[in-house]
Amino acid sequence: MAKQKTPHDIPSEVLKEKPIPWWRWLITLVALTLFIFVISQQGWQEFFQTLKNASLEYVLGGLGILFVSRLMVAGRWYELLRISPSKIKYLDTLKLTYAGLFATNFLPTSIGGDLVRFIGMTRWGVDSALVLASLIVDRLVGLSGMALMLPGGIYLITHPNVASINLLPISLAGIAGQDSWLKNAWNQMLQFIKKTLEDLLIWLKHPKQLLLSYLFTFLHMACLFGMLWFFLRAVNENIPFWVVASMYSLSYLATLIPLSIGGLGIQEMSITYLYSTFGGVSMQASLAVAVFTRMTFVINSLPGVIFLPSLLRGKVISDGEPNGF
């Protein structure tokens, strides 16, 4: 039986909780203030009227789809961890996934979602180095999957009048070849994919688990884009699914830059700007979708409150033995 890792076995640089720098608090405040300012410029009455008139069925449908998305995210991590000799249950990865989501949304100043997942999985006896690598690869798989939608997003922002087209009119190679800077962007994306494959070396020796993790991430992406499509339909906006996906891929990349806390303000402003400017969506509808998206992410993370307290209570044990979770 594999020896269980105690909190003292976990690398100190991983467990160290760093305070959020003041400038991130400032950027978060500025981004949220700017988002509120944009709403005020459009008119508070019109904004609340848009929210009030939104189809409840579509909003609840989007919320439900995001719950399915989280099942897929847990499945992606589960497949990466299955190369461990320790026995791992899907339900355990799901619990830690939700605990991490709750920590990310409600404990931004003390402990991050990946750290929660790291601590929880090592306490169940999985090698700490493998867990840390799996979290990195989990991020890379998700990022590389989302990167596949970037050519569509690049095409839309360089050809803003085609958002109403129902089918992607050109191939990815065609997108890359139209302008020199697009060709450079395409080459950079290829370099990113190459670097990702190098980082996935361990899992390349286990192609089944890697392919299944990609399958789960594509299902997760389909659910995520479906949630946004439902929210757009809720406010009477009917745009092609590929436009929804392409625009969100750009918004997703914007939130990856660690400027604001939890992407607050940045996510809302990027969704509002991209969909209203390049996606053919009205400003009022874009603002409503941004608000629905944030609220849904927060609501979706609430089940994590069931699992997080017991994990935090057992993070450091005086006798070196891990608590039950």
> What pLDDT, in 10s, does the model give residues 149-188?
988 888 888 876 655 444 334 333 443 444 555 566 566 6
With beta carbons less than 8 A apart as the criterion, state whether 294 and 267 touch: yes
17 belongs to a structural domain: no
Mean pLDDT of the chain: 80
Hey, what are 113's tokens? 């979602």
The one-letter amino acid code at 76 reads R
231 belongs to a structural domain: yes
9 belongs to a structural domain: no
Q: Which carries the bigger pLDDT value, residue 98 or residue 204?
A: 98
User: How far is residue 296's CA from residue 324's CA, in Å, rounded to a whole number?
Assistant: 31
Asked if the model's pLDDT at residue 315 lies above 70, the reply is: no
With beta carbons less than 8 A apart as the criterion, state whether 91 and 123 touch: no
Which pLDDT band, with edges at 50, 70 and 90, does 289 fall under? very high
**Cα angle 177-179-182, degrees, rounded to a multiple of 5:** 75
Q: How far is CA 307 from CA 50, 73, 120, 250, 273, in A?
A: 36, 17, 10, 32, 36
Q: Which carries the bigger pLDDT value, residue 251 or residue 258?
A: 251
Residue 200 has a pLDDT of 62
Most confident of 192-196, 232-236, 275-279: 232-236
118 belongs to a structural domain: yes
Q: Tell me 64's DSSP state.
A: H
> What pLDDT, in 10s, does the model give residues 121-138?
988 888 888 888 899 899
Residue 219 has a pLDDT of 97
Residue 262 has a pLDDT of 79
86 belongs to a structural domain: yes
175 belongs to a structural domain: yes
Residue 223 has a pLDDT of 97
> By residue range, what is the domain housing residue 127?
53-313
Which pLDDT band, with edges at 50, 70 and 90, does 324 fall under? very low
Which of 1, 94, 95 lies closest to 306 in space, CA to CA? 95
User: How far is residue 213's CA from residue 200's CA, in Å, rounded to a whole number?
Assistant: 12
Which pLDDT band, with edges at 50, 70 and 90, does 194 fall under? low
Residue 23 has a pLDDT of 81
321 belongs to a structural domain: no
> What pLDDT, in 10s, does the model give residues 55-110?
999 999 999 999 999 999 999 999 999 998 888 899 999 999 999 999 888 765 44
> What pLDDT, in 10s, does the model give residues 13-53?
444 556 677 787 888 899 899 999 999 999 999 999 999 99
DSSP 9-26: GS-HHHH--PPPPHHHHH
Strand (E) or helix (H) holding 84: none
The span from the first CA to the last CA of the chain, in angstroms, equals: 19
SS3 state at 124: coil
* Statement: the pTM of the whole predicted model exceeds 0.75: yes
Asked if the model's pLDDT at residue 205 lies above 60, the reply is: yes
User: How far is residue 251's CA from residue 34's CA, in Å, rounded to a whole number?
Assistant: 16
From the CB of residue 310, how many other CB atoms can be counted at a distance below 10 Å?
Answer: 14
Residue 258 has a pLDDT of 74
Domain count for the chain, please give it: 1
12 belongs to a structural domain: no
